[in-house]
Amino acid sequence: MLKIIHLDTGSDLRGGQQQLLMLARGLRGRGHEQLIVTLEDTALEARAQQEGFRVFTLPAHDPGHAHGILQLRQHMRAELFNILHAHDGKGQTISWLSSLGMRVGRVASRRVTFLPVRRFDTRFKYGRTCDAMIAVSKYVRQLLIDSGVPDSRIHVIPDGVEMPDDLPDSLARARVRAQWGVGAQEFVAGHLGAMTHEKGQDIAIQAAGLLTKSLPEARFVLAAGMSKSAALAAPPNLKIIGYQENLAEFFAGLDLYIMPSRAEGLGSSALIAMAYGVPVVASRVGGLPEIIEDDATGWLIPPGSPETLAEAIIQAAGNRDCFQEMGAKGRERARAFSSTIMTERTEALYEKVLVDGARSKVKS
């Protein structure tokens, strides 16, 4: 049995935090002891406690997390954890400082595409302060190599997806659409994600506006935390529904999932759509081409163009007969990214880090 600390400093429950919880659930099922470390009063703290995980919180008002690092260091000495897994960049700094001089394997995940401006910062942070790096895609791996992180430290383990045993039926589809005020014959494209520039929701809103006349049967549903100004600018064929807890219901109402990202480490929400049998239109950026096969499980388009996105949606709406086959292929493709596979590969990396660390101590 391993004793693992997961460390994340994000305030919202976004993709990275969802992946942390998914991994923790999988590792719990494999008998490992875990502690989730996060900031006070975060969505991750609440969800982790709700799911029965042990949680250690770092004080929110603590310049440089100095006090929190000392508290965590004392806690680690008392319980003798052997794996410290940082799930974001700030968490990796806290991980390193809180474990200096300790016999613990340090692992860091990298799922975003932006890196520090200075190449030295990346090379030191991920080449010197951790034993292994998890890149969620080959694209992110190459970014790290280009920034000076040793290739031997980087391991590609894509984000996972929890595969639903059964897909939503026609009754669920009708019920969800009725809640949205959408007709049975209308073509519904949806998007799920935090409202950030790199996710491209502004492109989706503009594309919806372009289709009000050229594809009048199209409707758009955005599950995103929109600003008031963005919501007011939305065209009449677009509905903003906010954060969605029940993903099965959300995807039951869709014909198509759209992901007009400007940057993407992998694209886990596209994986979720595929797991629910929903074809995807996504930008050809970052790790998205590593999960979506163009014209087989979805469509890949150039980023940054509302016109191109609108054209892709028109093409998709004109191919409804092939949707069932395309959705089935996408669901089969998503199985290669199952949460079980992600958990097993991460567990194997933890064990490798510990074995390599033991060998290096014997040699020294």
**Per-residue model confidence as pLDDT tens digits over 16-55:** 999 999 999 999 999 999 999 999 999 999 999 999 999 9
Could you tell me which of 308, 307, 311, 304 has the C-alpha nearest to residue 200?
Answer: 304
Output the pLDDT for position 120.
55
Q: What is the pLDDT along the chain (364 residues), one digit of tens a residue?
A: 999 999 999 988 889 999 999 999 999 999 999 999 999 999 999 999 999 999 999 998 888 888 889 999 999 999 989 999 999 988 999 999 999 888 899 999 999 887 655 555 666 666 678 899 999 999 999 999 988 888 999 999 999 999 999 999 999 999 999 999 999 889 999 999 888 889 999 999 999 999 999 999 999 999 976 655 566 578 999 999 888 888 999 999 999 999 999 999 999 999 999 999 999 999 999 999 999 999 988 999 999 999 999 999 999 998 877 888 899 999 999 999 999 999 999 999 999 999 987 655 545 4
Rg (CA), the chain: 22
- AA letter at 129: T
> For residues 252 and 259, what is the distance between their CA atoms, to the nearest angstrom?
17
- The two beta strands, 154-156 and 132-135, are parallel
Could you tell me which of 93, 77, 34 has the C-alpha nearest to residue 347?
Answer: 34
- AA letter at 108: A
151-177 residue pLDDT tens: 999 999 999 999 999 999 999 999 999
Q: Encode 139-162: b = buried (16+ Cβ within 10 Å), e = exposed.
A: bbbebbeebebeeebbbbbbbbbb
Q: Which domains does the chain have, with CATH numbers?
A: 3-160+339-363 (3.40.50.2000), 170-337 (3.40.50.2000)
Output the pLDDT for position 64.
83
User: Distance of CA 350 to CAs 107, 221, 353, Å?
Assistant: 8, 40, 5
Output the pLDDT for position 32.
98
Output the pLDDT for position 364.
44
Output the pLDDT for position 323.
84
